[in-house]
Structure 1
Amino acid sequence: MARNFKETIKHRRTYYSISNVSPISDKEIQEIVEYAVLHVPSSFNSQSTRVVLLLGDNHRKLWSIVKETLRKIVPENNFKATEDKIDNCFAAGYGTVLYFEDQAVVEGLQKAFPSYSENFPKWSEHTSAMHQFTIWNMLEDAGFGASLQHYNPLIDAEVAKTWKLDPNWKLVSQMPFGTPTAEPGEKEFSPLDKRVLVFK
């Protein structure tokens, strides 16, 4: 959409109303993910982030797993609202990006640099967050709407089993995306003078 970087950041929002339509090819979606994974920084150049792109039946399978997992723990009289949200806000989209952090990499750094051992799990989360933000912005700039969900750790075991993933990969978040079918809600901003301090 030829937005500049600042415009892209400003335009990125949380979209819950999305459709199973894509403004770009699957190859271009894959290129967005690969570009982010290649170029987003990580502490000690650890490159600990792992990303799984689910399209088509695999996308729908994920949200079926979420729904059936929640069905076991959500009271029956409350489940209809949960089911509607999954079906209409997440499963209705075109695809889902799954974000993982490879714990083998994190643990390897902890052993290699024991002085920083307690920091590496936190730095790993920072790395994941940067990947999430980058891909979210790039998807939106391509014409998608997306949101960030956290059904882990409830679905972790079934996700790993279904897609035969490395057991060292820890699921961090899920990002369903699709073409927006409605505008996002109004966004409120806390005063900047309460959040930014400048000393000259």
Structure 2
Amino acid sequence: MGFREALINRRSIYAIGKDRVLGKEKVEGIVKDGILHIPSPFNVQSNRAVVLFGEKSDEFWDKLIEIMKGMLSPDRFPATEEKLLGFKAGYGTVLFFIDDAAINELKDKFPLYAHNFTPWSEHSQGMLQYYIWAGLEAEGLGANLQHYNELVEEFVKEKYPIKEGWRLTAQMPFGKALEKAGEKEFLPIEETFVSLGE
């Protein structure tokens, strides 16, 4: 699959399964390539990722289910549990982080641009998430992007080898796509694109 096809085909796939459409090493390779080659402000290289496979991924979603059960009323919890069990049903999960310690060093080194480094690092993080998402799609996997950051960050930092200063930004459950995404609607391109000059 070419770059443009991966761009167009990348969608939020919520029905995912544990079948190994792609080997662990190939998934790790996609994530590592993104970490190494996605641009970052002043080449600070502040993007971080942890990939959870199999029971490690299950453990993460089980903990989040436990947390949500303690937060939601009995009438609201079942719908949330069903959604989270859908993410647990996948083959693995990518946890995304920004290394705020690296960003703070950059702020100290270049105070003139200090107010820009956090948003710039988030731009880089978005590129990383998109690259990995499209990369998994190109290899036949389905994925989606979630943001349960504050709810589960304490558990993540206690359970996994996370360095001080890493801030959890997103979670990407992935696995065999069990259904296709629905039709996507687009605004008229005339409202969202301008081209000037020859």
Q: Give the drift of 1:44.
A: 0.5
1:29-60: CA deviation from partner (whole Å, max 9, x where unpaired)? 11111111111111111100000000011100
Residue range with higher mean Cα deviation, 125-134 or 156-165:
156-165
Residues 65-80 of structure 1: pairs in structure 2 closer than 5 A: 65-80=63-78
The 5 A counterparts of 1:51-200 are: 51-88=49-86, 90-200=87-197
- CA–CA separation in structure 2 for the residues paired with 1:168 and 1:58: 22
Match of 1:155, SS state, is helix
SS in 1 for 2:150: coil
Secondary structure at the aligned position of 1:105 is classed as: helix
Whole-angstrom distance in 2 between the partners of 1:19 and 1:62: 16
TM-score, length basis structure 2: 0.97
- Whole-angstrom CA distance in 2 between matches of 1:168 and 1:51: 13
Per the TM alignment, residue 183 of structure 1 is displaced from its structure 2 partner at its CA by 1.1
- Kindly tell me the number of residue pairs found equivalent between the two proteins: 197
TM-superposed deviation, 1:164: 3.3
For normalisation by structure 1, the TM-score amounts to 0.96
> Does the CA contact (< 8 Å) of 1:67 and 1:83 recur in 2?
yes
Distance in 2 between residues matched to 1:164 and 1:68, nearest whole Å? 22
> After superposition, what is the alpha-carbon deviation per residue over 1:80-126, rounded to whole angstroms, capped at 9, x for unaligned?
011011112x0000000010000111100100010111111101101
Give structure 1 stretches of 5+ with no counterpart.
Answer: none
Give, in angstroms, the shift of residue 167 of structure 1: 2.7
**Structure 1 residue matching 2:120: 3-state secondary structure:** helix
Asked if structure 1 preserves the Cα contact closer than 8 Å seen for 2:90 and 2:174, the reply is yes
What CA distance in whole angstroms lies between the structure 2 residues aligned with 1:22 and 1:194? Answer: 41
The 1-side partners of 2:118 and 2:66 are apart by 30
Give the whole-Å Cα distance in 2 for the aligned partners of 1:78 and 1:6: 40
What's the % identity of the aligned pairs? 39
Unaligned segments of structure 2, at least 5 residues? none
Q: Aligned equivalents of 1:28 and 1:156: distance in 2?
A: 27
Structure 2: distance between partners of 1:175 and 1:103:
20
Q: Deviations over 1:118-142 (max 9, x none)?
A: 1111011011101000000111111
SS in 2 for 1:123: helix
* Residue in structure 1 matched with residue 34 of structure 2 by the alignment: 36
Q: Report the more deviating stretch, 21-30 or 125-134.
A: 21-30
Q: Distance in 1 between matches of 2:96 and 2:149?
A: 11
Local SS of the residue matching 1:178: strand
